[in-house]
A and B are shown apart, each in its own frame.
Chain A
Amino acid sequence: MSQYAMVIDLDRCVGCHACAIACRAEWKVPTEEGYRRNWVKRIGPEKTPYGISYTFFPGLCNHCDHPVCVDVCPVDPEERTFTDFRTGKKTRMEIKATYKDPFTGAVLIAKERCIGCGACVEACPYHARYLDETLDEPKADKCTFCYERLAHGEEPACVKTCIADARIFGDLSDRNSRVYKLVHKEGAKRLESDVVKIGPNVYWKGKKKDLHALFKNYAPRERTWEEVDNMSRRGFLAGLARKTSLKG
């Protein structure tokens, strides 16, 4: 199975925010506070054990191996056919509103199934999702690795615009890909902690001091999804809503 992934090279990144804006432009992300699929946070200058660091946290959805956002989605599963845009191969699987794409490993949202409950938004330890409340019916939204652009042979918008070529996108299951080399041979790192290990597929590469500052400031340290243990209640509510609508 393929797993699309991104590596961000902090040694190349100049913190210009082009990625964040290109994403907004491409997907009309609401500009009100708190809405972003893709962001740049500045870190420092601050002291680290390896010297002073002034670096960046260019972040996005990590398209995790074990996406807790998918786990917590309370929507009833429904079977659906998926097509690989590269090979045309088809497969069927059950999805809730948010799911992990069987062909690219991208974590996606079936917008028409999303009930806007916000469980996934709360569960994401990376704060990579938002609930778009500018819509008449709020829906969860986040980075899709520009799935639609990929399907049309385009790169993700952030990768395309990156002025320093600091974002490298590709298939981590392909041993010849650049992302494979960067991850498996050049030590690009996932933003994880001992407590939060859900297999993110975005990696950061950089100097020791910069990675130290990045992890110190932004590695998630709380299992946010444990707080939404009342999943069953939500599932019940969603199910109830569905039954009602069917009966009506």
Chain B
Amino acid sequence: MKRREFLKFSTASCMALAAMELGGGKAFFRPAKAMASGELPGSLGAKEVYSVCEMCFWRCPIVAKVKGGKLVKIEGNPKSPANGKRVCARGNSGVQLLYDPDRVKYPMKRTGARGEGKWARISWDEALDEVAYNMKKVRKKYGPHALAYFDHGASAEFMRGLFMHMGTENYSNEPAFFQCVGPVAEAFISSMGYLVSGTRQYTDMGHAKAILLVGSHIGENVHVSHVREYIQGLANGAKLVVVDPRFSAPANKADVWLPIRPGTDTALLLAWINYVIQHKLYDKDFVANHCEGFEAVKEGVKDYTLEWAARICDLKVADMEAAIRMLAKAAPNVTIHPGRHSTWYGRGDVQRHRALAILNGLLGAVAVPGGLYLPTPVKTGKSECPECEAEVEEPDTSLKDDFPYAGNFPGNPTAKIIEATLTGEPYPIKLWGVNGVNILQTIPNPYDTMEAIKKLDFIFTESMMADEAAMWADIVLPGATYLERYDSLHTYDGITPYLAVRQPAVEPLFESKSSYWIARELAKRLGVDCYPCEHEVEYIEEELKGAGLTLEKLNRMGGIVSYKANPYRSRKELKLPTESGKVNLAVAHYEDDDFDPVPKFEPTPAPPKGYARLIYGRVPVHTFSRTMNNLWLHNEWPENHAWVNDEVAAKLGIADGDTIVLENQDGKRSLEVKAKVTPGIRPDAIYLPHGFGSRSKRLTRAYGKGASDQFLITHYENCPFTGASSHRTSFVRIVKGGKALDIPELRPLPREIPRFKKSA
């Protein structure tokens, strides 16, 4: 009964209701009772299963709460030194991933055209036989490299071994590398000798006296321990400098916000480096004893003044100066955050992050509290069981050949895999496996990706949800969620090292199977010698043995073992894993490949007249493009909004909340999206939170909600070092009521910056 109807009640209906109540044998007002005995309310009294989250790749230790065989709640594992009792919105919503009615329930075979998403239910045997048959056939006909595998996360790890065993160099371990952290990984490996910012993030913000974020929007992107360290640093009084064209959540917490012209970050960083050197703000002892190439840097940056950068970056000299003074004053306890998502502009990405590494070195913020720190590896045993590795065969022409530093990292650039699939050059690629990654919402120019898929002999996915990638598959294998399976040991080597293991909270639903089971069954059919253990628990026990543990013992201890961290070094004992043991301020070996040992400013082309640069980022309740259909998360954040500068909006006659369409420089149009009119973004940029605008009808909640940034990113460039694809090299204008509106240029462009021109 609706409340309104009740309020309009007549006496007659009141009596009718009362009579109805009586019919049930109960008085209208039952007497007050104490809390019902027996079952406790909420999650109280539930059975607890220790496990590890995988709503994102960060993998926080969790406790799954199970009542009557049903998962009712997820909380953080209170013994975890990283997240403790806490999980984020997504971690809390794992319950709804498990019970999502849109889950892929059975193995399915395509019945319609590719991309149509029409399937028929088949048996596991039929599905696996078909995948194995096609893998063997393609390998035999075209060679091992005709097989390609796009993967991300724990669900994909076993099958990656299988693809490698087949001899292909085309596994993309992971698209995340070539769409995300590739350039920052390369920059810091060459500068510091280790992976400062890859899957993990070795930045000690919790003890920092100042923090610099360039484009990073911590809090809107959520990795629980990372957020905690950042907030702890701020609560302790750390100063915060945020460089971002948008007034992001951390910009709101910042002491200085620098609303930089997109594409000019390296100019600002080089001017700061010069300023630090000219004003002798650098750590002289550290530079003298622990850095290589200071003189080269000093010479290389001498022309980059704050005044010059102010014009390039469209910032005020006073603000830039205040910011660098704030950071330098905190040295060496200063986090010059290396950044995570770094595939912005293609050409200059590695050098932008090199500039951040140089600042780190100059300020001595290495292996000290508040600076970059060193990982503390957690020792586990080695199990023979999950081994499935083989020598990858060398092709005559490798897809890595154009990118001299791609060889430092596993897998091949995704852009090149797609290009080779499209063109057959330098060799044909005829089969794709996809696991844990929605390639159409992740890799630029999904239109090319769709065309490439049409050329394949075969494509299959292992999926939990029928996302866009699954829509294109010939065979879809239903993967068990992280709440229904075991996975390899999870060790964390950050500032609070620990070991935990993923364990199932409930039995796999429907016909879904664990990724280990799927990989093992496929291996059997391929006749390869992989995954000899009958069950994953066998090899997990083997691995645990090396840490002096058993599964039973680990569970008795609360599902987690923590270790003492060794993140800092005294200046005397500091030896970095570079050749010299020192920070490479200049990277001498870059010269061998015609790259600059010291970064130079190379302008990124500005938007064509009438367009703004499309920038994007995260919302805190969603992971990539994979959680938009989750009931709880969807209801918190069902669609994205396009951020439009208020002055631009006024000139174009766009009001907050208006429905608009974005059109890019290649004429590609987005789905409808609402405008968020705000002073919190520069006039020359439009911001679109990532991952919305789903085009898979089988995601019944997410379908068609908001606009996809990826479907607007049709122009990209490859990082010349690693082959990673750029994602901030597309431009948009606004379409309202069917009419395309040019974005007025409110911030005139300096002469040094060319405009983007479409290549013929």
Contacts and interface: CB of A to CB of B under 8 A. Distances in A.
Contacts of A176: none
B228 A164 contact: yes
A118 B6 contact: yes
A45 interface: yes
Contacts of A55: 252
Contacts of A16: 88-89, 219, 222, 227, 620-621
B234 to A, nearest CB: 7
17 contacts: A14-B620, A15-B249, A25-B73, A25-B74, A44-B247, A45-B680, A45-B681, A52-B247, A112-B29, A137-B1, A161-B92, A162-B86, A164-B228, A166-B231, A237-B11, A241-B14, A244-B18
A174 interface: no
Given A78-B29, A121-B3, A241-B17, A157 B227 contact: no
Question: Which among B2, B30, B92, B635 has the greatest number of chain A C-beta atoms within 10 A?
Answer: B92
B44 interface: yes
A151 B220 CA distance: 34
A26 B43 contact: yes
A47 B677 CA distance: 12
Interface of B: 1-3, 6-7, 9, 11, 14-15, 17-19, 21-22, 27-35, 40-44, 72-76, 83, 85-89, 91-93, 95, 218-220, 222, 224, 227-228, 231, 234-235, 247-249, 251-253, 620-621, 631-633, 635-637, 678-681
B75 A245 contact: no
A140 to B, nearest CB: 9
Interface residues of A, number: 67
Contacts of A20: 89, 636
B649 to A, nearest CB: 13
A186 to B, nearest CB: 13
Contacts of A40: 636
A17 B89 contact: yes
Contacts of B41: 148
B234 A11 contact: yes
Question: Which among A12, A14, A115, A161 has the greatest number of chain B C-beta atoms within 10 A?
Answer: A14
A210 to B, nearest CB: 7
A15 B95 contact: no
A118 B7 contact: yes
A138 B1 contact: yes
Contacts of B249: 14-15, 54
Nearest to A117: B6
B86 A163 contact: yes
A165 interface: yes
A78 B636 CA distance: 39
B92 A21 contact: yes
B496 to A, nearest CB: 15
Nearest to B635: A31
Question: Which among B34, B252, B678 has the greatest number of chain A C-beta atoms within 10 A?
Answer: B252
A127 interface: no
Given A21-B89, A54-B249, A45 B2 contact: no
B260 to A, nearest CB: 16
A78 B42 CA distance: 27
Given A31-B631, A154-B44, 16 more contacts: A14-B227, A14-B231, A15-B249, A16-B88, A17-B620, A18-B91, A21-B93, A22-B75, A45-B681, A47-B679, A115-B6, A121-B3, A148-B41, A152-B44, A161-B85, A161-B92
